[in-house]
Structure 1
Amino acid sequence: MKLALILNVIDPKIGGVMIMGDRGTGKSTIVRALVDLLPSIEVVEGDPYNSDPKNPELMSDDVLEKIKEKKEIKTKTIKTPMIDLPLGATEDRVCGTIDIEKAISEGKKAFEPGLLAQANRGILYVDEVNLLDDHLVDVLLDSAASGWNTVEREGISICHPSRFILIGSGNPEEGELRPQLLDRFGMHAQIKTIKEPNLRVKIVQQRELFEKNPKLFIEKYQPEQEKLTKKIIKAREKLKETNINYNLLEKISKTCSELNVDGLRGDMVTSRAAKALAAFENREEVTEKDIFTIITLCLRHRLRKDPLESIDSGIKVQETFKKVFLY
């Protein structure tokens, strides 16, 4: 799970992470801690979309207009946004609303930005995503894939940048996501409760230490945290130089084909994740080991469900990988 989250931070185009696991296994805790690893971002002051002052693709229309008119743009540095999406959120709260009355009376597009605007260039986290209305999940996945959110009301249309890392978590006991929605998540991590008593005791003790003195606990791990942040920043830059040779790409596609994976998302996500892992380990070439490390995370949730199948989907992916890559 930690690896899947870090790789998405290095390359957000991987397409987010779906985390499924038993209740009380720390899924939400880890996701919410992820934001502390992310470097600060520079945004345009007073802009509700966290517009990037240097990249036109990540700017709102208002900022683009100011640049065309050569007006001065003030900037500020903020912490990478982490937005929690509540289960009871309405579509208007998520996407934003257009003030029709103001539009008619003043002839101006009056837009009230929603959570997708706040999450631009950050992380959008949905706990219990399998309990969220399907149409809202569709909206989130469309925005995450296209990088834009479009709101249409009464013939008025507003479009703004909305690029974020979508992270969903849930408990399989409460129901699975529809396969076509599951397929849209780049990676899928499955979490099980730890069985070893000594590890369980260690987790309980760490929790107690944190509750006694949170400040001291955070300070203790701060150097390690800063080291990881630097590694992530370096990997983002290294990603541009990272390559995967044709032979490995062909084997990835053969593995997907052998597993009867529908569409080409599996092929693309696997090669992206492998490159992000190579960059994270400060290498320019992807190896077979990189692919083996991430292929289960990328393909497990894309396999067709067979009620008569006794083998776990993760093991099936690994066995097919060995058959394709090693023989």
Structure 2
Amino acid sequence: MPTYPFTGIVGQDEMKSALLLCAVDPLIGGVLALGDRGTGKTTTVRALGALLEGAGLSTPVVDMPLGVTEDRVIGSLDIDAALARGETKFRPGLLADAHGGFLYIDEINLLDDHLVDVLLDVAASGVNIVEREGVSHTHPARFVLVGSGNPEEGDLRPQLQDRFGLATWVTTVTDPAVRLEIVRNRLAFDRDPDAFLASVSARQGELGGRVVSARDLLPGVTLDDGLLARIIGVCAAAGTVGHRAELVVSRAAAAHAALEGRGSVDERDVRAVAKLCLRHRVAREAFETPADVEERLDSVLA
């Protein structure tokens, strides 16, 4: 079945920008998208995979179902090989499938704690080590973690939340004109997917080409000490927890510059990515809402 195209998605611009930044530089650390149900979070992630595939980039997008077993995630003994031929053989899991690409978990805030621990270990090391049932296997598992969910249905463990480089709130679009365009596009795609894909093929190709070019440009993008000091000042003033924030802002700003076709980071890039990098890292006061956090970051960036 055809996948809905990335450039056909109307609204949710911040989530789309976050995903594109991680497509340019996976070291940014992934995207956490929390918000209302039915706002296209899953559609957007899957559309990214189709966009990158169309651009010739080998970046798998793997779905991790909420009720998945640990064996399916990390891999296990290949029972068929053991029964048929008496072989002790490793059957790769979802972490192996996602290597070099994206691992997407919907409703990540409802994920079992033991699987959260597995993800934390592998995300930190980039290596999956399996020791069980006579199987001893190690393989690389470097992937961009993308998680979505509705915070009203459960909290996300702080240790996992901090592993995400970027975070965005995905809310229901309220502008009637934009909502009309969203519905029209979806109905058109459902009615004739091939025609709809053809109508956006030029935009898909252009955006995919930008990602490819940005990846090539990124290693040469420069960030001068003056702007790095500005980034550190912003993170300190925002009250971020830990020092991961400065690294993430620096990497995301460089990826943003590369997407814009520029070889050096400037203030525009920092402003474009700062909230994505910081909103889930600032210490929140009692009764402080997400809107309060946004206002605080606005004042820091002013």
Q: If the length of structure 2 is used for normalisation, what is the TM-score? A: 0.88
Deviation at 1:79, TM superposition (A): 5.4
**What is the CA distance between 1:12 and its match in structure 2?**
0.4
Aligned to 1:135: 114
1:100 and 1:209 mapped to 2: Cα distance?
45
Q: Distance in 1 between matches of 2:57 and 2:166?
A: 28
> Which of 81, 97, 101 in structure 2 is aligned with 1:118?
97
Residue from 265, 289, 294 that aligns with 1:314 = 294
Alpha-carbon displacement from aligned partner over 1:187-228 (angstroms, at most 9, x marks no partner): 001111111112111211111111111110011101110111
Note the alpha carbon deviations across 1:174-198, whole angstroms, 9 max, x for none.
1221222111111001111111112
CA contact (8 A) 2:90 2:135 kept: no
Task: Tell me the amino acid that sits aligned with residue 270 of structure 1.
Answer: V
User: Which among 24, 27, 30 is matched to residue 38 of structure 2?
Assistant: 24
Which residue number corresponds to residue 212 of structure 1? 191
What letter corresponds to residue 114 of structure 1 in structure 2?
G
Q: Give, in whole Å, the separation in 2 of the partners of 1:158 and 1:238.
A: 36
SS at 2:279 equivalent: helix
3-state SS of paired residue (2:91)? strand
- The residue type paired with residue 300 of structure 2 is T
Q: How far apart are 1:318 and its partner, in Å?
A: 2.2
Give the % identical residues.
49
Distance in structure 1 (CA, Å) of the matches to 2:208 and 2:173:
27
Letter in 1 for 2:156: L
Structure 2 counterparts to residues 22-171 of structure 1, below 5 A = 22-39=36-53, 80-98=59-77, 110-153=89-132, 157-171=136-150
Q: Which segment is superposed worse, 31-40 or 106-115?
A: 106-115
- Matching residue of 2:11: none
How far apart are residue 154 of structure 1 and its match?
6.0
Give the AA of the match of 2:172: T
* Secondary structure at 2:280 match in 1: helix
Structure 2 distance, partners of 1:102, 1:33, is 36
Deviates more, 1:156-165 or 1:2-11: 156-165
Q: Distance in 2 between matches of 1:197 and 1:32?
A: 26
Aligned-partner SS, 1:126 = strand
Sort the Cα spacing of 1:40 and 1:205 in 2 relative to 1 into closer, same or farther, 3 A. Answer: closer
Q: Which residue of 2 aligns with 1:292?
A: 271
Pair 1:257-2:236 in alignment: yes
Gaps of 5+ in 2: 1-14
CA drift of 1:16 comes to 0.5
Q: How many residues align?
A: 285
Q: Which entry has the higher C-alpha Rg, 1 or 2?
A: 1
Residues 1:303 and 2:286 aligned together: no
CA contact (8 A) 1:8 1:16 kept: yes
Is 1:280 aligned to 2:259, yes or no?
A: yes
User: Is contact 1:39–1:233 with CA below 8 Å preserved after alignment?
Assistant: no
- The alpha carbon displacement at 1:101 in A equals 12
- Specify the code of the residue in structure 2 equivalent to 1:3: S
| CA distance in 1: counterparts of 2:295 and 2:219, whole angstroms | 32
SS at match of 1:262: coil
Tell me, in whole angstroms, the C-alpha distance in 2 between the residues paired with 1:107 and 1:24. 48
Q: Name the counterpart of 1:55.
A: none
C-alpha contact 2:76 2:135 (8 A) present in aligned 1: no
Structure 1 residue runs without a partner (length 5+):
42-76, 323-327
SS in 2 for 1:243: coil
Q: Decide whether the 8 Å contact of 1:235 with 1:276 is kept in 2.
A: yes
Measure how far apart 1:258 and its partner are.
Answer: 1.9
